[in-house]
């Protein structure tokens, strides 16, 4: 039995990932939430707790695989400090707790263009979170770097992204060659790729951009 714990299970990707894993034979799925969702697939174990108490919950779960679908936006967060509190502090804190609890495999949703050397604050924060997690000693770590996410229902309003999603069929056509990594991609495909990776063996650090994510999703 592969015991999996997910943080960010109520977000765009997380909700679809929970459904994907709930139907997997040999997978025990746990989700960390601050508020219990109205609907949860049968068999999924819910841990409702304040984020500060997540390390205690993770320690009790003793996961084999930890998955972070956590993330916010500058608009929603309201400040750089608040954004970093989620996309760096909460993400890396969850990963650290999972490693301490015995997890050997970490999977995290990041962003295309993430780099700890980026000049853009958003991408730099994502890159710094990747770098911090990569140094925690997981046997295997996977970072997914999707482009603009489409499909599904977001738990929060993102007007800028809504416009970009409407224009995606046109802008995607203009993104050829190396720019294809910035094309839009269905959130469902990312969730399906993560579900596949959760049962993958092997070692090392792996980065998956749009083309690789689509291939994993099947």
CATH code: domain of residue 14: 3.40.50.720
The pLDDT, as a whole number, for residue 70 is 98
| Per-residue pLDDT reduced to its tens digit, 41-59 | 999 999 999 999 999 999 9
The pLDDT, as a whole number, for residue 165 is 47
Quote the distance between the C-alpha of residue 138 and its chain's center. Answer: 16
Question: In sequence order, which residues have a C-beta less than 8 Å from that of residue 135 and are 6 or more positions away?
Answer: none
Number of domains in the chain: 1
Mean pLDDT confidence for 160-178: 53
Strands (DSSP E) found in 57-203: 65-68, 105-109, 140-144, 149-150, 185-186
For residue 3, pLDDT over 50 is answered with yes
For residue 174, pLDDT over 70 is answered with no
Between residues 161 and 5, the one the model is more confident about: 5
The pLDDT, as a whole number, for residue 23 is 80
Secondary structure class of 179 (helix, strand, coil): helix
pTM: 0.89
> Domain range spanning residue 165?
2-217
**C-alpha to C-alpha distance for 190 and 61, rounded to whole angstroms:** 25
């Amino acid at each position: 039995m592969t015991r999996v714990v997910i943080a960010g299970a109520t977000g765009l990707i997380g909700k679809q990932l929970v459904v994907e894993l709930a139907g997997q034979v040999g997978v025990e799925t746990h989700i960390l939430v601050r508020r219990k969702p109205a609907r949860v697939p049968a068999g999924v174990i819910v841990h409702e707790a304040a984020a500060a108490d997540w390390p205690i919950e993770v320690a009790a779960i003793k996961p084999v695989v930890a998955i972070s679908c956590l993330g916010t936006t500058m608009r929603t967060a309201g400040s750089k400090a608040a954004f970093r509190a989620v996309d760096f502090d909460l993400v890396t804190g969850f990963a650290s707790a999972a490693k301490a609890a015995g997890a050997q495999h970490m999977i995290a949703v990041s962003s295309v263009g993430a780099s700890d050397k980026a000049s853009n604050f958003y991408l730099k924060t994502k890159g710094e979170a990747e770098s911090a997690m990569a140094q925690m000693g997981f046997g295997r770590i996977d970072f997914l770097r999707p482009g603009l996410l489409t499909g599904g229902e977001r738990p929060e309003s993102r007007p800028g992204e809504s416009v970009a999603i409407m224009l995606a069929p046109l802008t995607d056509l203009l993104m050829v060659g190396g720019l294809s990594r910035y094309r839009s991609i269905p959130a469902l495909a990312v969730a399906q790729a993560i579900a596949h990776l959760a049962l993958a063996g092997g070692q090392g650090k792996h980065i998956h951009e749009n083309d690789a994510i689509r291939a994993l999703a099947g």
